[in-house]
Amino acid sequence: MCGIIGYVGASTSGRGLDVALEALRRLQYRGYDSAGIVAANQDGLSHVKRAGKLEVLEAQLEAEPLPAASAVIGHTRWATHGGPTDVNAHPHLSEDGSVAVVHNGILENHAQLRRELTEAGVKFVSETDTEVAAHLLAHAYAAQGDLTDAMTSVVQRLEGAFTLLAVAADNPHVVVGARRTSPLVVGLGEGENFLGSDVAAFVAQTTSALELGQDQVATITPDSVTITDFDGNLAEAKPFTVDWDASAAVKGGFATFMDKEIHDEPNAVRDTLLGRTTGPGGALQLDELRIDESVLRSVDKIVVIACGTAAYAGHVAKYAIEHWCRVPVEVELAHEFRYRDPVVTEKTLVVAISQSGETMDTIMAVRHAREQGAKVVAVVNTMGSTIARESDAALYTHAGPEVAVASTKAFLAQIAATYLLGLYLAQLRGTMFADEVRTVLAELETMPAKIQSVIDGEGDIKALADSMRDVTSVLYLGRHVGFPVAMEGALKLKELAYIHAEGFAAGELKHGPIALIEDGQAVFVVVPSPRGRDVLHDKVLSNIQEIRARGARTLVVAEEGDTAVTEYADKVLWVPRTPTLLAPLVAVVPLQIFACALATAKGLDVDQPRNLAKSVTVE
Ligand code: AGP
């Protein structure tokens, strides 16, 4: 996720730069590891870009202002390809400086296009996928002489999810944007027009907007907006009026970042899978996993190290990776790992999971593991973070920035990424046939839509939370992959609603925790698919009956069609049918929505819960 802004005005002035900086300030929640701006006027293009937060760019502009401009494009980055450096920051210019582009998304075929351009003599300066678009656009612009035509021919060669904005040195009166899957909206002004990754980019200037459809190109000048499709034909865009205030716009119209980020979960999973599921011959490819294949084949143990929600993602992954790879997987809390003198050798593969990539407990555990000779793969959401840099390889989740302190979309993305890692290892080690891997990948690719269907039913879950606003204790039960989901559901309620909540393995109940059950005790039960493994489902059904017989209020998360649960449930939260190992990707969503809604009903600060920090950078 990145924030982008495009502006074109009737005169050459400082307004474009002011508008762009204001937009980038509002768009920082979409990415903040680097930022840049291009100014276009009759003298051509001038640009500045810097790694670091926006204030680094602002300081640079203070010291060396860009010239007055009639067209401006700007970008605040959440790195996906190429670390957060000055060179990798956007904008990216063509070799001859004739065009500049900013980009939000992932160009899946960038490697192949980079090879073609390099063979044609183009000299790349950055590690990004975006630079490919700058060079392609320059070649097309030189041949066609029109920026819209050039953009139209370039986007036909791109694969993946992208929003591109471009400006040309010899025409400072037009900005052209194009979108496929990544967002782009048009802001309509008086003698000026805007393009933005969302309305937060220009809501301070205008509330009159156009929503672009899939595969559309928008050409804006000071007094015109033209929409075409990727074949160059005129197309329609839906007008709308932004009814959010500026702060709501930053949250995409949602009341809290947490609510926004839960709604972003389908994209977080989709983007994490993007460009990784099929390589040559349909095999799974993980280019970024730069560890020698022979080393990966020799691995005799996998140790996941993480904290909090990331650790629960690791626990979910354990079930899948052991099933697929037939290698023992231990999941260790990072802060316990290095103090217990773990057995780690050069045949141990350590997987460090972290949203921030800066959790000190996990950093120290990574260092310890490497000192013991283990190879370390980081599964992190923040490009260029310490854990990524100190590991042997990094497999990034592409969840985009997670602003709310309590982790939601990153959890799902971590499961998706560790599943890709497990499938890749199984493919490499031969413990799964290629067609088996492809079957699971195909199932994974259906998950964003299934997650969306759970989110679409959030009203029912929010009503349940509202009715329980005075609850003082909630228990969570799960079995198999549902057990870490129960643990994560309890953590969400603790950290958001400050309520005692505890997760248990359902089978553990009769070994003590059942003493907690009394009349009216609320208990969430995550029920596995009745079509899944062995008798998991029936055993959990027995657990529900055990607690119900003792007065529990049973709140059951079950898959659609599993009518066996209804007679024992006070409330059923239905989720779409999924294979057993993929169920956590939908089963956790009602628990996240419930915790967020209950905290909201209690009037608590959902995004910044008391006592917590987004990244715990102390041991
Ligand atoms: C999750 O809701 C918490 N905020 C916390 O447990 C978090 O998952 C943990 O601190 C690990 O953070 P990381 O993923 O950035 O390493």
Residue 274 lies in a domain: yes
Integer Cα distance of 355 and 399 in angstroms: 9
Domain end, chosen from 417, 445, 473, is at 445
Which of the four pLDDT bands, split at 50, 70 and 90, describes residue 280? low
Exposure of 490 by Cβ count < 10 A (0-12 exposed, 13-18 middle, 19+ buried)?
A: buried
CA 220 to chain centre: 30
- Ligand 1: atom nearest CA of 495 is 2
The response to whether residue 307 sits with its C-beta less than 6 Å from ligand 1 reads yes
Strand partners, 153: none
Please check whether residues 431 and 474 belong to one and the same domain: no
The response to whether residue 399 sits with its C-beta less than 6 Å from ligand 1 reads no
Please check whether residues 374 and 440 belong to one and the same domain: yes
d(CA 16, ligand 1 centre) in Å = 39
Residue 174 lies in a domain: yes
The response to whether residue 181 sits with its C-beta less than 6 Å from ligand 1 reads no
Q: Which residue has the least CA distance to atom 2 on ligand 1?
A: 406
The response to whether residue 405 sits with its C-beta less than 6 Å from ligand 1 reads yes
Check whether 613 has a pLDDT greater than 90: no
- Ligand 1: atom nearest CA of 414 is 14
Please check whether residues 496 and 403 belong to one and the same domain: no
**Helix 458-467 to helix 584-601 angle, to the nearest 10 degrees?**
40
pLDDT, residue 248, reads 67
Token code pair at residue 464? 């349940």
d(CA 569, ligand 1 centre) in Å = 32
Structural domain boundaries, residue 527 = 451-608
The predicted-structure confidence for 335-344, as pLDDT tens digits, reads as follows 999 899 999 9
Domain end, chosen from 248, 275, 299, is at 248
Please check whether residues 416 and 333 belong to one and the same domain: yes
Please check whether residues 239 and 92 belong to one and the same domain: yes
Q: Across the chain, what does the average pLDDT equal? A: 94
CATH number at residue 47: 3.60.20.10
The predicted-structure confidence for 149-181, as pLDDT tens digits, reads as follows 999 999 999 998 899 999 999 999 999 999 998
Please check whether residues 418 and 458 belong to one and the same domain: no
Residue 618 lies in a domain: no
Q: Is 347 a catalytic residue?
A: no
Check whether 246 has a pLDDT greater than 70: no
Which of the four pLDDT bands, split at 50, 70 and 90, describes residue 534? low
Domain end, chosen from 445, 462, 485, is at 445
The enclosing H or E element of 114 equals helix 110-119
Q: How confident is the model over 55-64, as a mean pLDDT? A: 96
Residue 349 lies in a domain: yes
The response to whether residue 356 sits with its C-beta less than 6 Å from ligand 1 reads yes
Phi then psi dihedrals of residue 223, to 5 deg: -130, 20
d(CA 380, ligand 1 centre) in Å = 11
d(CA 615, ligand 1 centre) in Å = 7
Residue 613 lies in a domain: no
Residue 118 lies in a domain: yes
Q: How confident is the model over 185-196, as a mean pLDDT? A: 96
Q: How confident is the model over 277-303, as a mean pLDDT? A: 86
Q: Which residue has the least CA distance to atom 7 on ligand 1?
A: 308
Residue 543 lies in a domain: yes
Q: How confident is the model over 225-245, as a mean pLDDT? A: 90
d(CA 163, ligand 1 centre) in Å = 30
d(CA 189, ligand 1 centre) in Å = 42
The predicted-structure confidence for 459-497, as pLDDT tens digits, reads as follows 999 999 999 999 999 999 999 999 999 999 999 999 999
The predicted-structure confidence for 381-435, as pLDDT tens digits, reads as follows 987 788 998 999 999 999 988 889 999 999 999 999 999 999 999 999 999 999 9
d(CA 115, ligand 1 centre) in Å = 38
Please check whether residues 226 and 271 belong to one and the same domain: no
Please check whether residues 183 and 301 belong to one and the same domain: no
Any idea what DSSP says for residue 234?
A: B
Please check whether residues 432 and 514 belong to one and the same domain: no
Which of the four pLDDT bands, split at 50, 70 and 90, describes residue 318? very high
DSSP string, 328-357: -EEEEEHHHHGGG-----TTEEEEEEESSS
Q: Is 307 a catalytic residue?
A: no
Which member of 2, 307, 325, 596 is catalytic? 2
Please check whether residues 80 and 154 belong to one and the same domain: yes
Q: How confident is the model over 518-544, as a mean pLDDT? A: 93
Integer Cα distance of 196 and 261 in angstroms: 19
Please check whether residues 258 and 329 belong to one and the same domain: yes
pLDDT, residue 468, reads 97
pLDDT, residue 261, reads 96
Token code pair at residue 105? 């998304």
Contact 40, 68 (CB under 8 A): no
Q: How many domains does the chain have?
A: 3
DSSP string, 536-565: HHHHHHHHHHHHHTTT-EEEEEEETT-GGG
Please check whether residues 241 and 256 belong to one and the same domain: no
The response to whether residue 590 sits with its C-beta less than 6 Å from ligand 1 reads no
Q: Which residue has the least CA distance to atom 4 on ligand 1?
A: 406
Q: How confident is the model over 208-237, as a mean pLDDT? A: 95
The response to whether residue 258 sits with its C-beta less than 6 Å from ligand 1 reads no
The predicted-structure confidence for 565-597, as pLDDT tens digits, reads as follows 999 999 999 999 999 999 999 999 999 999 999
Residue with tokens 């490499």: 428
Check whether 272 has a pLDDT greater than 70: yes
How do strand 224-229 and strand 522-526 relate by DSSP bridges? unpaired
CATH number at residue 273: 3.40.50.10490
pLDDT, residue 426, reads 97
- Ligand 1: atom nearest CA of 359 is 16
Check whether 5 has a pLDDT greater than 90: yes
- Ligand 1: atom nearest CA of 614 is 4
Residue 355 lies in a domain: yes
